[in-house]
Amino acid sequence: MKNLYVSLSCLVCFLLFSCGAGEERKPLQHEPANLDKDKKESLQYEEEKNFRSLKQLTFGGDNAEAYFSFDDQQLVFQATNKKWNAACDQIFVMSLEGTQNEDPPMLSTGLGRTTCSFFMPGNKEILYASTHLGDSACPQTPRSVNGKYVWPIYESFDIFVADLEGNITKQLTTNPGYDAEATLSPDGKKIVFTSTRSGDLELYTMDVDGTNVKQVTSELGYDGGAFFSPDSKQLVFRSSRPTTSEEVKNYLDLLKQGLVQPTNMEIYVCDVDGSNMKQVTKLGKANWAPYFHPSGKQIVFSSNHHSASGRQFNIFSINVDGTGLRQVTFDPTFDAFPMFSYDGKKIVFSSNRNNGGTRDTNVFLADWID
C-alpha cells in the first residue's frame, strides 16, 4: 500500500504492494470510534465489532506477516526498518507486549531478503525463507513491466530453520528455483510451501525435517500463501489462475522473467493432498492472505474487491462454502495478514492505521469476539 500492500499471506515481498505508489495517503472516509478532533486517528473503527482491546505492537517501518508461537506467547514477523538494521525484509520476534519499549531481536541473518516466518513445534525454532545464499545484498524489486504491476519471484529463495538466537540449524530446500511461503500445520507434522520446481508456482507439503515432499496443486497459475485448517486436514490459499489464451501467455511470459502479476486472485480450499479443491471467493480483483477461523468453518482474508480504485484493502470473513461474506476491518488504506491465536481468543494483523499520514505499516493485536 503506500504502494498498495498486496503482499500475500506469506507473500514474497509484501513491501512491493504498499499503499498507492508515490501517492499521498487518502483522508479517512469516516470518523474512527473514540476519536477526538484534536488527536490522531484512533486504533479502532466503530464498525469493527469483532475487536476488543485493540493494541498497536510496532511503531514505524514496514511490519507484516506476524504469526503466533504455539503457546500464543510470542509473534514472529518480517520487517523493513533501518533502525533495526533491516534494509529489506528480515525476520524478528516479539512478545505480545510489542516493540514500544525495546527493539525486537533479529532471527534471520540480516543478509538478502526474507519472507514468511513461522514457529516450529516447541517454540524454540522458526521457519523462514531467505535469498542470502544467492546474494548477501537486498535483491532488486521490479514493480512494473509494460505498465503492469508485478511481484518478483526470486529463484534464490530457500527455506531454513533457525533457533531463537538467529542461528540457522537446517536448510529444508535445496532445489533450484523459488521455494518460499512456508507455514506449519497446527499438529506440528507438516509444512506447506510454494515452489517453482515443476516449472509453475505450485503448492507442496513436506515433513518438518524437509523429507517426504508431495505436490498439492497442479493447475496453471500462482498458488501460494497457504495455511492449514485448525485440524490440519485442509489448506486455504490464494491463487491467480489464468483462463484465456491472453492471460495464459501473459502469465507464462512474466514467469520466465521471474515475475507474477498479482492483481487478480481468489481464495481456494482443498484437502492436504490436493483433493476436494473448491474455489471459495468469486469476487474479482485481489483476494489473498487467507486464514482459517478457529472453528474451521470460516476464513478471514484481505481484499480490495469493494474498492473502485483497488487501493483500499480490508479484512473480510466468509464461510468455507462461499456464503456469508462480511467486512471485518475498515481502515481506508490497508488491513491484511490476519492470524488467529491457537486458542482462538486473539487476532493479529497488519495495518496502515494510526501511522500519522506516513507510509508505515504496523502490527496490531486484538481480542476476537465472534
Q: What is the pLDDT along the chain (370 residues), one digit of tens a residue?
A: 333 333 433 443 333 333 222 222 233 333 333 333 333 457 999 999 999 999 999 999 999 999 999 999 999 999 999 999 999 999 999 999 999 999 999 999 999 999 999 999 999 999 999 999 999 999 998 888 888 889 999 999 999 999 999 999 999 999 999 999 999 999 999 999 999 999 999 999 999 999 999 999 999 999 999 999 999 999 999 999 999 999 999 999 999 999 999 889 999 999 999 999 999 999 999 999 999 999 999 999 999 999 999 999 999 999 999 999 999 999 999 999 999 999 999 999 999 999 999 999 999 999 999 9
Sign of CA dihedral 64, 69, 73, 76: negative
* Domains of the chain by start residue, with CATH: 14-368 (2.120.10.30)
pTM attached to this predicted model? 0.90
Query: What pLDDT sits at residue 147?
Result: 81
Q: How many whole angstroms separate alpha carbon 317 and alpha carbon 62?
A: 25
Neighbouring CB atoms inside 10 A of 351's CB total 28
Radius of gyration (C-alpha) of the chain in whole angstroms: 19
Cα–Cα distance between 204 and 313 in angstroms, integer? 28
Main-chain dihedrals φ then ψ at residue 335, nearest 5 degrees: -135, 130
Q: Retrieve residue 343's grid coordinates.
A: 486458542
Amino acid at 112: G
Three cell numbers, residue 191: 509444512
Phi, psi of 80 (to 5 degrees): -110, 115
Element spanning 253, H or E: helix 245-256
CB 348 within 8 A of CB 51: no
* Under 8 Å between Cβ of 108 and 81: no
CB of 267 closer than 8 Å to CB of 281? yes
Separation CA 5–CA 20 (nearest Å): 8
Rounded distance between C-alpha atoms, residue 348 and residue 352, angstroms: 14
Question: Cα(166)–Cα(293) distance, rounded to whole angstroms?
Answer: 31
